[in-house]
Structure 1
Amino acid sequence: MPYRTQRAGSAPQLPDIGHLAGVAVAELELGAPDGTGAEIAPAPGGPPFKDGPHEGEEQRVFALVRLRGRPVGTVVGRIRAGDDPASVLAGQAVDEIDLPEPLPASRRADAPRATVVVATRERPEQLARALDSLLAQDHPDFEIVVVDNAPATTATRDLVAARYAHRGVRHVLEPVPGLAAAHNRGIAAADADVLAFTDDDVIADPHWLTALTLPFAADPRLGCVTGLILPARLNTPAQTLLESHGGFAKGFAGRRYDPAHPPAEEPLFPFTAGRFGSGANMAFRAGPLRAVGGFDPATGTGTPARGGDDLYAFVRILAGGHPLLYTPDAIVWHHHRERWEDLCGQAYGYGAGLTACLTALLVRKPALLPALLARLPRGLAHARTMTASRATDAAGRRGVPGEHGTYTYPWPRHLSRLERRGLLYGPVGYVRARLSVRGEPRPWEGR
């Protein structure tokens, strides 16, 4: 996220999970379905591999597995002295991953023109890293808008002017603090029919924007597309703990959510917004997004609501009759929070953002109230189960991230309690944030 999360109360010391630190992150290209010709490289933005573990030691590696460029899964392997990392991990991938048939090559030229919006606040070093990756995209026609949100210095403006303005990157100012307000300023500044959003703490795969926007050309009803978010580094226990519980990833199978055909296995649809994707990797068709009012400025990181801006937009798009598509082919590498204190704030923000989003939906779209009330009992039960399940691991395993969502290490009870406290706080935070932005029009209104 492009804003630092405040601490949520006094946190205990980091649990005894030091053994989870120091996992290398890599990309593994299988070359062929049997793993012959496999090649391995460090993840973009991640530290280079060591020369190799010393005799008697081992190195753990978390690898994104690709088959002819297409992401198909992740593996976690242990590399010992003398091992060839590519061969070891390729053999593991062939055994563990149900490899799909290769897809036909997509036509990059069909990707619609796009505007990429990056909201940021006082993090020029991270922003530069993100912009370098965005300028390396293989998309045929796009622009980049940097939204400088409530800045305290001129660092962001100076960076864009000195290093990126001559390459077409635009800098715009949004004085109202909050991620949603910054995104709305980006909507106002955009000139494309497809608007992509990412954060200043990611590195985008070179094919990211093409994969994220091509579906809009194939489906004129489509309102939103989200993509895969993977860890750029797993250097600290806090980073590895988060990723072992799924991180921000939504898996390696594409999924289309159509309000005209609600998924039978999703009884809470469309209020299960967290399943659809995350704000660090999302794109919208500009017309429908503007039609629903964009993002609610009383939600999002940087406001008392603490989050929920992306969830709110997903539900509003779906409630407006537009399908949402998740594609794992659109990849960004996210720099997870490194400190235990930051992870505590993040856990609290998860809960607060969810209920702040639900409150925003009721305030902005009262017609959704009957549907929400009908689903609310099961929704609260689901939320409680979701946070409680992280606190235990039935298998009693200790490890590192494997298949996303397998809970390879118990989620500390303190973090579960913080999530629940956040759930209670969310509506209060939303009301506080809304009072501070009441009456302010969307930036594009009246243009």
Structure 2
Amino acid sequence: MAGRRRARQEIQRFLDTEAVQVAELDLAEGEEPVLRPGPGGPPVTSGPVFVLVRRAGRPVGTLLARVPEGADPARELASRAGALGDGRPSGASSAPVPRPPAATVVVATRERAAQLGRALDSLLAQDHPDFDVVVVDNAPVTGETRELVERKYGERVRYVCEPVPGLAVAHNRGLAAVRGEVVAFTDDDVIADARWLTELTAPFTADPRLACATGLILPARLGTPAQVLLESHGGFAKGFTPRTYDPEHPPADEPLFPFTAGRFGSGASMAFRTAVLRAVGGFDPATGAGTPARGGDDLYGFVRVLAHGGRLHYTPTALVWHHHRETWRDLETQAYGYGAGLTAYLTAILVNRPALLPAFLARLPRGLAHARGLTAVRDTDGGGAPGGHDERTHAWPRRLSRLQRRGMLYGPVGYLRARHAHRAAVRGTR
């Protein structure tokens, strides 16, 4: 009885979650603040607003504020932004961004032509001086994606088809088609900031040992309870402080390094030095969405290049806006998939790099404690909607925590099933 009552309370809290506007506020020194709605959103009005604050165009932080009825949104939000940032993200260099290397952007997709078109429009508007775009149509059942690319984008976007299902398989197919020194990956449900590719790839010029870079991911919309809840618990963002992870100098504050790869970034905004990613064999085809493993392909890639001796750099000025999933059912699927993907990628790492087993076993006790923390029922730190990425403004439902734990138990089995399924699928396409 108590369990059912608690479940009803959680559902009601979820349904009562208020929608939040998304906006950008640019605070260029000596100029009036410029307020813009988030990508594709309506003009900002009164009510709660999730704001990306920029200074001279550079992202420096986020905040949540409520614009009173009748107030000027730009002035109200500028007064709340205060001293957020100092003209550049914490720890960022004031030196000019180096010329980025030639790059190829790979977008894997499956039967989502409308979303894909929106993403491609933003990618073709990048200010990067030398790049091309490859769309990988993964296990298509219609010709919609190919028709869109050929009709609307012509020679500006290359189309390739990968008949074997799975995100990692699709990424490997894209990797084979790469022409640039750096390969960047993003998803078909994002809108890329105009400087995303330049900011993401420029660090490769400055650091010859850099193997991977990841970027900032913020919500494009917070219009449903599911979207607000996900972002309230951090979403995909990793903050506004640049950071370099070096396997020769493991970070003292990351005792599980490099196995907590989820801290490094996410697949919607990641780039690799092409030669390095090819040298480690690309992504494990038995990981990722579209396989029984459910996910983990991006995390696998991060750990593989770190284990190969390369550095990884998180770059908060490389921004994409992500369209979070919209429904409670989506959240359930996502929670289970995150748990499964986490343990599936760890299984993949140990299967493909057994030499890492001693290091993994040494970190296992702390890893189990970390896993318990990831799947704990997380209380709220206050009311409202997401602001900073270190605060929780909505309780994380027990059902989602249970689903994540179940997914973690399933992950190794899912990975083994995915390996079997991939072999069968490859045989079937020969």
- What residue number does 1:257 align with? 245
Confirm or deny: 8 A CA contact 1:208 1:330 kept in the other structure: yes
Letter in 2 for 1:25: V
The one of 36, 43, 63 aligned to 1:41: 36
Q: Which string of whole-angstrom CA distances, capped at 9 and with x for unpartnered residues, describes residues 246-301 of structure 1?
A: 00000000010000100011110000100000000000001110111100000000
Paired residue secondary structure (1:17): helix
Measured in 2, the distance between the counterparts of 1:91 and 1:178 equals: 47
Q: CA separation of 1:261/1:140 partners in 2, compared to 1, >3 Å: closer, same or farther?
A: same
Paired residue secondary structure (1:326): strand
Measured in 1, the distance between the counterparts of 2:293 and 2:57 equals: 39
Correspondence list, 1:26-175, <5 A: 26-32=23-29, 37-45=32-40, 47-49=41-43, 52-53=45-46, 59-94=47-82, 97-99=84-86, 104=94, 106-107=96-97, 110-166=99-155, 168-175=156-163
Letter in 2 for 1:88: E
Correspondence list, 1:389-408, <5 A: 390-393=377-380, 395=381, 397-408=382-393
Correspondence list, 1:403-418, <5 A: 403-418=388-403
Q: Which string of whole-angstrom CA distances, capped at 9 and with x for unpartnered residues, describes residues 318-357 of structure 1?
A: 0110000001000000000000100110011111000000
- What residue number does 1:299 align with? 287
Report how far residue 409 of structure 1 moved. Answer: 1.0
Measured in 2, the distance between the counterparts of 1:439 and 1:235 equals: 41
Measured in 1, the distance between the counterparts of 2:70 and 2:174 equals: 51
Confirm or deny: 8 A CA contact 2:258 2:306 kept in the other structure: yes
Q: Structure 1: where are the runs of 5+ without partners?
A: 1-10, 54-58, 442-447
Paired residue secondary structure (1:116): strand
Q: CA separation of 1:73/1:107 partners in 2, compared to 1, >3 Å: closer, same or farther?
A: closer
Q: Structure 2: where are the runs of 5+ without partners?
A: 1-6
- What residue number does 1:219 align with? 207
Measured in 1, the distance between the counterparts of 2:425 and 2:199 equals: 35
Paired residue secondary structure (1:307): coil
Report how far residue 440 of structure 1 moved. Answer: 8.5
Confirm or deny: 8 A CA contact 1:21 1:234 kept in the other structure: no
- What residue number does 1:24 align with? 21
Correspondence list, 1:180-329, <5 A: 180-329=168-317
Confirm or deny: 8 A CA contact 2:149 2:157 kept in the other structure: yes
TM-score by length of 1: 0.90
Report how far residue 429 of structure 1 moved. Answer: 0.3
Letter in 1 for 2:422: V
Measured in 1, the distance between the counterparts of 2:87 and 2:247 equals: 28
Paired residue secondary structure (2:317): strand
Confirm or deny: 8 A CA contact 1:117 1:144 kept in the other structure: yes
Measured in 2, the distance between the counterparts of 1:257 and 1:340 equals: 35
Report how far residue 80 of structure 1 moved. Answer: 1.7
Measured in 2, the distance between the counterparts of 1:440 and 1:217 equals: 39
Paired residue secondary structure (1:288): helix
Report how far residue 31 of structure 1 moved. Answer: 1.5
Q: CA separation of 1:293/1:343 partners in 2, compared to 1, >3 Å: closer, same or farther?
A: same
- What residue number does 1:419 align with? 404
Confirm or deny: 8 A CA contact 2:115 2:189 kept in the other structure: yes
Greater alpha carbon shift after TM alignment, 204-213 vs 86-95? 86-95
Greater alpha carbon shift after TM alignment, 378-387 vs 432-441? 432-441
TM-score by length of 2: 0.93
Measured in 1, the distance between the counterparts of 2:372 and 2:246 equals: 26
Q: Which string of whole-angstrom CA distances, capped at 9 and with x for unpartnered residues, describes residues 120-157 of structure 1?
A: 00000000000000000000000000000000000000
